[in-house]
Amino acid sequence: MNNKKRKKILFAILIAAVIILILLLHCCGLQEPVKEILGVQKSNGDLILKDSKTVEEMEQMMMKMSIPVNINASPHCAASGQPVNLCIENPSGSDKNLLVEVYLLDEDVNMDSFDEAQDVKSDNLVYSTETLLPPASHIECLDEDGEVLDGYGYLTKDIGSGAHKAVAVFKGYSSGGELQYVGKGYAFITLTVGDAD
């Protein structure tokens, strides 16, 4: 009887081992091999994408996250109250509406450690598009004679003569369907009123 019991136990262990082996083989067979999407270019060591579908997906992802904009990095106006050549443009390839605001910065603000919450003060706002710029559009204003000045705008407050450190804040909103905020970007500019001397 003891011998019969041993055979049953061995038989049960053998069946359990076979079932475990079948499950392991089945699980390992169903797993897809890990697809390497990055490679190394042998000539210079740069990372490259191996799959064109991945490239397209990454380009689409970057387009959703990017906020394309053009702005003059060193705008100038002859005197306070005169039009400034900010040259703010939402390019034709953009898929975002833009709201652009320009703030003066304190001289001690370091661009490498810029923190909007700490460095941008609402009372230092000197320019705003006030309305959204759709793709393929730019700012414009009228001069004293009523002529349209493309790329120019008026400051919202008087500032002293000289060169002023400033930051342009670009707030992006979706352009199709329901308007949704998608993110923001920054550009550091030097706004000059009168002579820089």
For 165-184, what is each residue's pLDDT tens digit? 999 999 999 877 788 898 89
Please, which pLDDT band fits residue 29 given cuts at 50, 70 and 90?
low
More confident residue, 92 or 7: 92
pLDDT at 133: 94
Looking at the chain, the whole-number percentage of residues with pLDDT higher than 70 is 82
Please, which pLDDT band fits residue 13 given cuts at 50, 70 and 90?
confident
More confident residue, 93 or 43: 93
Residues 6 or more apart from 150 whose CB is under 8 A from it?
A: 138, 140
Give Dmax (Cα) for the chain.
116
pLDDT at 21: 73
Please, which pLDDT band fits residue 57 given cuts at 50, 70 and 90?
confident
What value does the mean pLDDT take over residues 31-55?
Answer: 64
Q: What kind and span of H or E run contains 7? A: helix 2-30
CB 100 within 8 A of CB 130: no
For 148-163, give one letter per residue: b (16+ CB within 10 A) or e: eeebbbebeeebeeee
CB 114 within 8 A of CB 48: no
Residues 6 or more apart from 132 whose CB is under 8 A from it?
A: 97, 98, 99, 173, 179
| pTM tops 0.85, yes or no | no
